[in-house]
Structure 1
Amino acid sequence: MTNRSEFLKELRRAHKAIASSKLPEAEGILLAMLNLGVERELIFAEICQFYISSKQAEKADYYLKKFLSIKPSNMTYVLNLASGCVSAGMSASAVEMYRYALSLNANQPNCLFNLALQLRKVGELEASAEAYKKAIELKIDGQEEVYNNLALVYLDMNCLELAGNFFERALSVDPNYIPALFNLAGLAEERGDKAHSRKLYRKILSLDSKYYPALSRLVYQSDIERKDDPLVVELEAALLAGIDSPLEREELLFSLGKALDDCAEYDAAFEAYHKANEVGRLRFRAYRKDLQEKYTQDLISTFDQAWADSLPQRGGFAPIFICGMLRSGSTLLEKVLSGHSQVTAGGELDFISRQVRNFGDTYFSKIKSGTADFFETIALAYEEHVTKRFDVRGHFTDKRPDNFLHIGFIKSLFPQAKIVWTKRNLLDNCLSVYFQQLGAGMNYSVDLEWIGHYYRQQELVMEHWRLLFPDSVCCVDYDKFVCSPEDELEKLLKFIGLDWEGACLNFSAREGVVKTASIWQVRKSLYKKSSGRYRNYKRHLQGIQ
C-alpha cells in the first residue's frame, strides 16, 4: 500500500521537474503516479493541467475525458481545469468542464456565465443564450455585462430586435455602461442609422474621452475633407498624449490613415498606415511564404481530378459561396445580389471555418476519406444553422472570403453549390488589406510583400477549383463590375440561374444589415474611386509582385 508521504514525494518530484522545464521527466512521473492507487482525482487533474500548460491539446483532451470518467467530486479541480482550458484556447474542453461542474451544483451563476462565453466560441448559440439567462435568474452580479453579452449572442443569431432589446436592458441597469453603448452604436451603424450611432459614440466620449474605439468609429463614418478637421485634430492629440494599449494605438493610426487618405494627403496617410501595421505586426507570428506555399500545394494535390470525379451528384440545399481575397468586393456583390427577390444574404458565416478548425491537422484526410453519411450530417447541420437564423427565399449566399480555401469541403457537403470568386486588381487589393486593421490569424496583412504573396497563392487555389469545377465557379472582377454593372450582373445572374431584376443595382438606400469593414462604402451608389487607387501610392508599392 502506498503511504501519503510517498505520494507527496512523487508529486514534489513532478513539480520540480516542471519548474526546471524537464517536461518529459515530469510527464513520466505523473503518469506513473496513476499506478499508486491513491488520490486519483488529484493525479488526473495534475496530468490534465500539465498537458494544458505545455500546449499538448490532444493529450490534454484525452486525459480530461479520463478525468471526467472517474466522476470527480472536487469542484476546485474541475473549475481550475476549465479555467486552464479557456487560457489555452480549448473552448470545447472548457464547455465539458463547466457543464460537469454544473452537474455537481447547478446554482453557480459565475460558472454559467463562463460556460456561456465558451458556448458562443464553439457556436452553440442557443445554449449560450440559455446559460446567460439562467445566470441572470440566479442574480449574478454585474448584470449589465451579462445582458450585453446575451445581446451579442442574439446578434450572432441574426435576431437583431432581441439584440437591441438586451443592449437596452444592460443600459437600464447602468445607463453609462460603455460596452453596451458601443455595441448599440455598432448595431445602429450596421443598420445604416448614422445619426443615432454618432450620438451614441459622442456620448461614450463624453463619459470617457480616452475610449478611443468610439473616436475611430466616428472617423470611419465621416468623409473628411481637410487635415485640420476636428476629428483629425482629436486623433493626433490622442496619439501625442501616449496610449497604453498597443491595440488602441494601432486602431487610432489606422483611423488617421483613413482620414488623411480622405483629404488626399497620400504620403502622410501611408506613413500612418505603415506605423499602424508596424504596431499590428507584434500581434502576429511572422508570415512564412514557404508554409503558405506548402499548404497550397498540399491542397491542390489532395483535391485532384480523381477526387472531384468521385463526388456524389446529389441534390438538396445548394448555397452560393462568395469568396476570394479579402477586400476584393465580396460585400458589394452580396449586397447587390440581396436585392433579387430570390436571394437571401447570409453575410460572413463562420460555420465552415469552425468545422475546419475542429478537424485540425486531420482536415485533408477527413475530407478525402469522409463517407456520404459523414458529409450529409454536416450538411444538414449547416442547413439547420442557416434556416434558424434566416428566412431563406430561393438562393442563399455565404460570403466569408477565406472559404476559398475550403471549396473541397464545401463541394463534398453541397455538390450543387455555386462558387462566386471575387477578384480585384492586385495592387488595389493589397493596399485595401494593408489599410485595414485585421485579426483572426491574418498575419500576412501587416506587410505589403506578404499580402502580394498571399494574393498570388489565393489565385493558384482558385484557378485550381475553377479547373476542377468549371461549371460551378464564376469569377467576378471588381473593376469590370463598377465600370459595367449591368453587363457583369447579367452574367452573374445567368450563372446562378436567375432572371434579370434591375432592382439589384439600387442597393445604396436598401435597408439591411452590413457587418464588415465595408460598412459605409457599400451603402453608397456604385463608384469608381477605389478602382486604380494604387496610383496615389505607387511609389510605396515596389515590394509587391
Structure 2
Amino acid sequence: MIAQLTREYISNSFSKTYIRLLSYFFFEGRPATTSGRWFNPITFFFLRKASSSKIIPSAKKPVFITGTGRSGSTILGMVLSVHHQLGFMNEPKAIWNVAHHEDDLIGSYSKTEGRFYLTAADADVSVKQKVLGIYSTFLRLTGENFVVDKYPEMIFRIPFLNAIFDKPKFIFLYRNAAETISSTAKWSADHHDASASENWWGIENRKWKLILNQLVPVDEYLAPHQHLINGLTSESDKAAVEWILTMNQGLKMMQQFPDQVLPVSYESLTTNATATLEKINQFCGLESDSGMLNYAQKVLHPSKGNPNAEVHAILQPAISELSLKLGYTA
C-alpha cells in the first residue's frame, strides 16, 4: 500500500493522509526491494533544493524511532503520525543520503559503502544545513511542530545526530527475539529479488557485509565467534545476529543517554497502548492527544511470529542474556 495508508487511516484524517503522501513522494525515497523507484530522481531533485532552506528552530527537536526492523516500528510511526504536533517520515533514507554520502547501508541510492557508525565528526556544517533545511521544509509544508523520523539503524549514530540536533529524542523499540528473528527472516525471503540480488540485507548482501565488517568485530558477544559468524547463511541466523547487535547497542545507549533514549517494548505497545503512548508523549515533551490514543486502540494488536525459528547454537547465549536485560523471562 502507498505510504502505509489504510482505509481506516484515510478516513481518520484527510490532513494527515496528505502529510503521509507528501513525505512518501518527496522526502522518503523508494529503496531497494520496493516499487516506484522511477520517481527517485524527482525526490532527490526536490531534496537538494530543500537542503538549502532557512532553518526553523523546531526542526532541531525531532523524535527518532530506532531499534530493529520487524519490531512494530512502522505501526508505531503511523500511530504517532496522528498526533497533532507530529509529522511522520517512514525511513527517509533519501534525506540522509543527500546529507551524507556514507549513510546508505543497503545500496538503494549509492555505490559508496555505507557506515553504521557515524560520529559527531561526521556532522560538519554542510551536513547540518542539509538535514535541518530539509526538515524545516517538511515542517513548513505540513504545518506540524516536530518531525518523527523512523530509521532503526540510527541507534548506532546517536553522537552524530546529537551534533546535528538539539538533544533529539530516541524511542528504542524492541521485541521478543524469536518473533523478531522469524519475522525478519520471513520478510527477507518474501521480498527477495534474485534478478537484482536484493533482500533485507541489501543489494548483493551489502548490509550483511557491513554488519560483519563493522559491527561484529567490536561486539563483546559476537567478536569471539567472528570466524563462524562470517560463514552463517540462513535468514534466521543473520536476523539473530542483527537482533543481538542492535539490542546490545540500544542497551548501551540507554545507559549513556538516559534523558534521550526511551526503551519501549512491542509487547507493551500492543497490549497497553494508552499508557505506553502517554509515556512517549511525556518523554518527548509532547501534549497528550486523544485522537492518537483512540486511533491506537483500533490498530495496535499483538502479532505473533514463529517462536520455533531455528538459530545457531553459538548465538543462543547472547540472545538469552540480552533478553533478560530487556525484561524477558526464559
Q: Under a length normalisation based on structure 2, what TM-score does the superposition of the two structures give?
A: 0.58
1:455 to 243, 255, 260: 243
CA shift, 1:505, in A, is 3.4
1:332 match: 75
Residues 52-101 of structure 1: CA deviation (Å, up to 9, x unaligned): xxxxxxxxxxxxxxxxxxxxxxxxxxxxxxxxxxxxxxxxxxxxxxxxxx
Amino acid aligned to 2:163:
S
Residues 294-346 of structure 1: CA deviation (Å, up to 9, x unaligned): xxxxxxxxxxxxxxxxxxxx996121111111111111111111111101112
Show the 5 A alignment for 1:288-437.
317-350=60-93, 351-352=95-96, 355=100, 357=102, 367=119, 369=121, 375-389=124-138, 390-437=141-188
- Residue 527, structure 1, aligned to residue 301, structure 2: yes
Distance in 1 separating the partners of 2:37 and 2:176: 39
Contact map agreement 2:59 2:135 (CA 8 A) in 1: no
Distance in 1 separating the partners of 2:117 and 2:265: 33
Distance in 1 separating the partners of 2:260 and 2:66: 13
CA shift, 1:356, in A, is 5.6
Amino acid aligned to 2:73:
S
Which deviates the most, 427-436 or 500-509? 500-509
1:150–1:387: structure 2 CA closer, same or farther, 3 Å change rule? farther
Distance in 1 separating the partners of 2:311 and 2:133: 45
Structure with the larger strand share: 2
Report the structure number with the largest CA radius of gyration: 1
Identical columns (%): 20
Amino acid aligned to 2:263:
C
Contact map agreement 2:59 2:146 (CA 8 A) in 1: no
Distance in 2 separating the partners of 1:542 and 1:362: 28
1:408–1:507: structure 2 CA closer, same or farther, 3 Å change rule? same
Distance in 1 separating the partners of 2:238 and 2:77: 27
Distance in 2 separating the partners of 1:368 and 1:481: 32
- Unpaired segments ≥5 residues, structure 1: 1-124, 127-147, 160-313, 510-523
Distance in 2 separating the partners of 1:339 and 1:454: 30
1:494 match: 282
What is the number of equivalent residue pairs in this alignment?
Answer: 225
User: Residue 90 of structure 2 aligns to a residue in which SS?
Assistant: coil
**Greater relative contact order structure (CA < 8 Å, 6+ sep):** 2
Residues 131-166 of structure 1: CA deviation (Å, up to 9, x unaligned): xxxxxxxxxxxxxxxxx876444466899xxxxxxx
Structure with the larger helix share: 1
Q: Under a length normalisation based on structure 1, what TM-score does the superposition of the two structures give?
A: 0.37
Distance in 2 separating the partners of 1:462 and 1:366: 15
CA shift, 1:472, in A, is 0.4
1:476 to 264, 273, 278: 264
Distance in 2 separating the partners of 1:422 and 1:439: 20
User: Residue 60 of structure 2 aligns to a residue in which SS?
Assistant: coil
Contact map agreement 1:315 1:415 (CA 8 A) in 2: no
1:154–1:387: structure 2 CA closer, same or farther, 3 Å change rule? farther
Contact map agreement 2:116 2:157 (CA 8 A) in 1: no
Give the superposed CA RMSD.
3.6
Residues 194-218 of structure 1: CA deviation (Å, up to 9, x unaligned): xxxxxxxxxxxxxxxxxxxxxxxxx
CA shift, 1:453, in A, is 2.0
CA shift, 1:487, in A, is 0.8
Distance in 2 separating the partners of 1:465 and 1:475: 10
2:21 match: none
1:188 match: none
Amino acid aligned to 1:447:
E
1:404–1:352: structure 2 CA closer, same or farther, 3 Å change rule? farther
1:446–1:318: structure 2 CA closer, same or farther, 3 Å change rule? farther
